[in-house]
Structure 1
Amino acid sequence: MKVNILFFATLKDLAGTSKVQLQLDAPEGTVGHVRQALVERYPTLTENLRVALAAVNEEFAFDGDAVKDGDTVAFFPPVSGGQGDDKPEIFLLPTEPINHDEIIASITTPATGAVCLFSGMVRGQTQKEGHIPNTEYLEYEAYRPMALAKMRQVAAEIRQRWPLVQGIAIAQRVGRLAVGQNTVLIACSSGHRDEGCFEAARYGIDRLKEIVPVWKKEVGPDGSAWIEGDYQPTPSDRISSDE
């Protein structure tokens, strides 16, 4: 059986490649079998692979899940559509700057009376363990197909929790970004300010950092480091069949 392997962030750097094809002797196997085969093939990845998250065909997967011939299996560290005119949604992974005004206009309807927007930016100084103290720029990387699917999942979760939210926009920059540039935007619109737009935007950025496969590499005068999260997905983080 042949499976296509994708590496992201730290794993990509250590392997020296972003994708390989893996041949397994058995006609079928599991994510755990694939993980072990990669450890044997890439001993330098042993520690990172043992704690890496996995996805099969753009959905979170676990060691006991089946893998078939031709499947795409991605390994990565823990992270860093539309419903009609009355429920507009935007999901973006742009390399160009995010235009806040355009996005707000895109999720505004005649019934909109409030928009709550969160915008993140590149920080130049960070006093936190595991981070580069002085940052010159960031490099953002995404597992694009899965990232867009997970953005849609975040929007669906928002609608389930705050049904009065009208429009939802989620945009995450990728590529190289300088200090002061905007990196991410979460915006939610509603008829009134007390109809969940504040809470939904906060939930959106928190959830994005949990399940959307995007990572950042901090680069400074003293070196660089991939910033990895500690959230471990569970089967409930998979996209349900009725969404």
Structure 2
Amino acid sequence: MNEDTAKAHGVKILFFAHLKDLSGVDRAVLDVDLPLRVVELKRTIVARFPMLADRMTNVLVAVNQQYAGDEDLVRAGDEVAFFPPVSGGSLPTIFRITKEELDLNELLEKITLPTTGAACIFTGMVRGETRRGEAHQTIALEYEAYVPMAEAKMAQVAAEIRQRWPAVEGIAIVQRIGHLKAGTPTVMIACTAAHRDTGVFEAARYGIDRLKEIVPVWKKEIMPNGEEWIEGSYYPKKGE
């Protein structure tokens, strides 16, 4: 099947970076029953390219140049790209949803280059006492995430930061999920640059604000007298 036929009856697949090296091709056309979910397309790709099986759990997927999650639908004529987490060229970029304890020193080390002279780090923590609004105590927060989409959106936030502040060198966006007690770090946004006057402060602030807007992470607050899911108020626009 050629690419013209794929526009009507199949799916055009693109591979990048080590996925291209492992599969031996940079593109393929799959004749499959459509529509189907991204997760089902991944299984089809593994059946055709078994050497990619170990890579499918961590790949990013874009459908028609928009990041897609496992539950998104692929339709006839779509172009679907598979690639590893973007590296930002030679600049270190980390984005991760994790259940592991956040090691702030390790993360900072990974986004520090020989030219780095400044780092701005924001770390959110589970607040044990809230005094703003209705004062109350919090025993713990339970964090949940739609992981594939959350990590794809973190990559988008990193790309937006680089577009706005091109002097930023390294970027780390890491969110911890699970049951986290009061006083526990939950999220880290860090940006590094050669100098402090390069927008590195503004970039880190933008990163945490944007994460709260478009990265699908939720938290349930556990209090002495009950528990409650905390909902945000921002509704992302289509394609955002």
Q: TM-score range by the shorter chain?
A: 0.5 to 0.7
Give the one of 175, 178, 202 matched to 2:178.
175
Deviations 1:26-48 (A, max 9, x none): x99xxxxxxxxxxxxxxxxxxxx
Distance 1:223 1:68 in 2: 44
> Gapped runs of 5+ residues in structure 2?
1-33, 36-66, 77-85
Determine the structure 2 residue equivalent to 1:114: 118
Give 1:235 shift: 2.6
What is aligned with 1:15?
Answer: none
Partner residue of 1:82 out of 65, 70, 87: 87
1:132–1:218 CA contact under 8 A, matched in 2? no
Q: Identity percentage over the alignment?
A: 56
Q: More relative contact order in 1 or in 2 (CA 8 Å, sep 6+)?
A: 1
In the alignment of these two chains, the number of paired residues is: 167
Maintained 8 Å contact 2:140/2:180: yes
- For residues 96-107 of structure 1, the aligned pairs below 5 Å read 96-107=100-111
Structure 1 letter corresponding to 2:69: E
Deviations 1:12-62 (CA, angstroms, capped at 9, x unpaired): xxxxxxxxxxxxxxx99xxxxxxxxxxxxxxxxxxxxxxxxxxx952999x
Structure 1 contact 142–174 (Cα < 8 Å) conserved: yes
Give the structure 1 partner of residue 207 of structure 2: 204
Is the contact between residue 175 and residue 187 of structure 2 (CA under 8 Å) also seen in structure 1? yes
Name the CA distance, whole Å, in 1 between partners of 2:108 and 2:230: 29
Q: 1:106 to 1:67 in 2, by over 3 A?
A: closer
Kindly name which structure, 1 or 2, has the bigger radius of gyration based on alpha carbons: 2
CA distance in 2, matches of 1:227, 1:67: 32
Residue 223 of structure 1 is aligned with which of 218, 226, 240? 226
Partner of 1:95: 99
Which residue number in structure 2 is paired with residue 146 of structure 1?
A: 149
Counterpart amino acid of 1:233? P
SS in 1 for 2:115: coil
Secondary structure at the aligned position of 1:235 is classed as coil
Q: Post-superposition, which runs of at least 4 consecutive aligned residues in structure 1 deviate over 2 A?
A: 56-61, 66-69
Cα root mean square deviation, aligned = 2.6
**Unaligned stretches of 5+ in structure 1?**
1-26, 29-55, 70-80, 238-243
User: Which amino acid is 1:211 matched to?
Assistant: I
- Residue 125 of structure 1 and its aligned partner are, at CA, apart by 1.4
